[in-house]
Amino acid sequence: MPTLTDKKSRRSGRPAAELIFGDLWTFDPAPETADPKLKPRYDLFIGGKFVAPSSGKYFDSINPANEAKLASIAHANAADVDAAYAAAAKAFATWGKLPGKERAKYIYRLARLLQDRAREFAVAETMDGGKPIKESRDFDVPMAAAHFFYHAGWADKLDYVAPGRKVAPLGVVGQVIPWNFPLLMMAWKLAPALAMGNCVVIKPAETTSITALKFGEIIADAGLPPGVVNIVSGFGDTGAAVMNHPTAVKVAFTGSTEVGKIIMRSLAGTDKKMTMELGGKAANIVFDDAPLDQAVEGIVNGIFFNQGHVCCAGSRLLVHEPVADAVLAKLKTRIRTLRVGDPLDKNTDIGAINSQEQLSKITELVASGVKEGADLFQPACKLPGKGYYFKPSVFSNVTMSHRIAREEIFGPVLSVLTFRTLDEAVEKANNTAYGLSAGVWTDKGSRILKLSTDLKAGVVWANTYNKFDPTSPFGGYKESGFGREGGRQGLLDYAKLI
């Protein structure tokens, strides 16, 4: 319940009085010490075993927190991709006919083995990608295991996926995953494909290949038949070979809208099935009757989780004018407490930006916001001297014409706009090329139900943000892509109706 002070400040537009302790207390370092068990070199995983790339070429995987080399990663060429698809096609002859209850045993085993090595994988994910260890530990790894558990449960119940119809696997599918959630996106892609009886050739992002290739160890330990899952690492040329290979009957891609368009153009005229989970520029809408302190926590989670490297990040905050000043003041106070630094420190809230390239993009877009007249707020915090870091940033006095309100920044940068009426909020929220997600903060259930229909977004969160579950489908509209991942709907995207 709001306090009397809260109610008075809401009416006056001034924030409630708050206790500010400043730097009276400091945090001692709390480093994660688990061994990630990294190898100096990672080969391709093809046909159930690790093999060297035919070209003999490797590239470096860099820790964005300190710019140190973590490992050498194999660079697959077209010949390696051919070998991976040949292994998958051979495996499909038996895997696709295996009873669902038998496939389920393998998928359950993947989930349990990942749980057994959870701490190791969490540290490897943080070192390779830059996200805080508490996010890798508490979200990425447990959610990846949950997707395998969930889809293992579906494997022997496929007669109920499409009521009135029978389903069959498609065959061999090609998949490409992004760098923001390497292990979790791998689980999102592999689990439904395997449960339905398909075989897979999958390519991780070049900056975050380690946990995907480490997962090859789990696949081998689980005893999956050779060739059911094949992992090929590399750059854009490797991804293009995976997407365009004639053996693939379906391709699935998660990444930027620009690359998604290139893939769709290259596959135009073919009979390949496609699912695309692309970019976003989500609106997080706060009404004057919302629980403001709760909303501020949701706003912070919506944009600063994983350094803003989230396709469904709430990067546009739309605030009802009567509470706009109060929300902005509370938000600035909350952001001052965020700790930016070593991702392996358990106290860290915002870790390292994934790469120098991404840091440059964020920096350029933030500079454009300042140049175009928006007001930038960044807390006073000392960034590490080495590595790729960016302060949490909030822009106010933003208009719909600003680049920061239209383009996906994919970093810890929030743009704040205001609205007067519900219709104006909907119009501004939908005035974007994207349609992946949205958030609504209000005390009125009827308003939530109306906005869940009016907002053109695949996911609409109510009085929360960034909540995920394997049972719930995820995906977008417009330039955010098509198809769904998770739930019964995600399974159907890997099925043939007969």
Do 204 and 310 share a structural domain?
no
Tokens of 215: 């997962």
> Residue 338 domain-assigned?
yes
Residue by residue, DSSP assigns 254-292 as ES-HHHHHHHHHHHTTS--EEEEE-----EEEE-TTS-H
SS3 198: coil
Q: What is the mean pLDDT of each run of 10 residues along the chain (498 residues)?
A: 43 56 76 96 98 98 98 98 98 97 98 98 98 98 98 97 96 98 98 98 98 98 98 98 98 97 95 96 98 97 98 98 98 95 97 98 98 97 96 97 97 98 98 98 97 97 97 96 97 96
Q: What CATH number has the domain bearing residue 320? A: 3.40.309.10
pLDDT (0 to 100) of residue 25 = 73
Closest of 88, 2, 9 to residue 322, by C-alpha:
9
Do 262 and 389 share a structural domain?
no
Do 288 and 167 share a structural domain?
no
pLDDT (0 to 100) of residue 16 = 56
How far is 299 from 396, CA to CA, in rounded Å?
14
> Residue 107 domain-assigned?
yes
pLDDT (0 to 100) of residue 21 = 59
> Residue 79 domain-assigned?
yes
Do 330 and 305 share a structural domain?
yes
Q: Based on the structure, what is the number of domains in the chain?
A: 2
pLDDT (0 to 100) of residue 22 = 60
Closest of 236, 104, 86, 78 to residue 172, by C-alpha:
86
Contact 276, 375 (CB under 8 A): no
> Residue 85 domain-assigned?
yes
> Residue 70 domain-assigned?
yes
How far is 205 from 267, CA to CA, in rounded Å?
21
Angle, vertex CA 260, rays to CA 125 and CA 343, nearest 5: 20
How far is 176 from 83, CA to CA, in rounded Å?
17
Task: List residues with catalytic annotation.
Answer: 277, 311
Buried/exposed 279-309: b ≥16 CB within 10 Å, e otherwise: bbbbbbbbbbebbbeebbebbbbbbbbbbbb
Contact 396, 377 (CB under 8 A): yes
Torsion of CA 108, 113, 114, 119, to 10 degrees: 150
Do 186 and 263 share a structural domain?
yes
Torsion of CA 105, 106, 107, 110, to 10 degrees: 120
Which residues, other chains included, contact 23 with Cβ-Cβ below 8 Å and sequence gap of 6+? none
Do 289 and 432 share a structural domain?
yes
Do 388 and 437 share a structural domain?
yes
Closest of 288, 133, 198 to residue 494, by C-alpha:
198
Do 188 and 208 share a structural domain?
yes
Please report, as a single letter, which amino acid is at residue 289. D
Do 305 and 407 share a structural domain?
yes
Which residues, other chains included, contact 401 with Cβ-Cβ below 8 Å and sequence gap of 6+? 372
- Which whole-number Å values give the CA distances from 103 to 85, 100, 255, 431, in the listed order? 20, 5, 29, 45
Q: pTM (2 decimals)?
A: 0.94
How far is 201 from 194, CA to CA, in rounded Å?
12
Residue that is written with structure tokens 């009404």 in the block:
287
* Burial category of 142 from C-beta neighbours within 10 Å (exposed 0-12, middle 13-18, buried 19 and up): middle
Domain containing 214 equals: 41-278+480-497
Going across the sheet that includes 283-286, the strands are: 375-377, 393-396, 413-419, 316-320, 283-286, 437-441, 459-462
> Residue 48 domain-assigned?
yes
Closest of 475, 473, 464 to residue 436, by C-alpha:
475
Do 238 and 110 share a structural domain?
yes
Do 220 and 104 share a structural domain?
yes
Q: What CATH number has the domain bearing residue 158? A: 3.40.605.10
Residues present in the chain in total: 498
Closest of 189, 194, 228 to residue 89, by C-alpha:
228
Do 245 and 329 share a structural domain?
no
SS3 465: coil
Handedness of CA 347, 375, 400, 14 (dihedral sign): positive
Backbone angles phi, psi at 94, to 5 degrees: -105, -40
> Residue 25 domain-assigned?
no
> Residue 14 domain-assigned?
no
Mind spelling out the 3-state secondary structure of 371-420?
HCCCEEECCCCCCCCCCCCCCCEEEECCCCCCHHHHCCCCCCEEEEEEEC
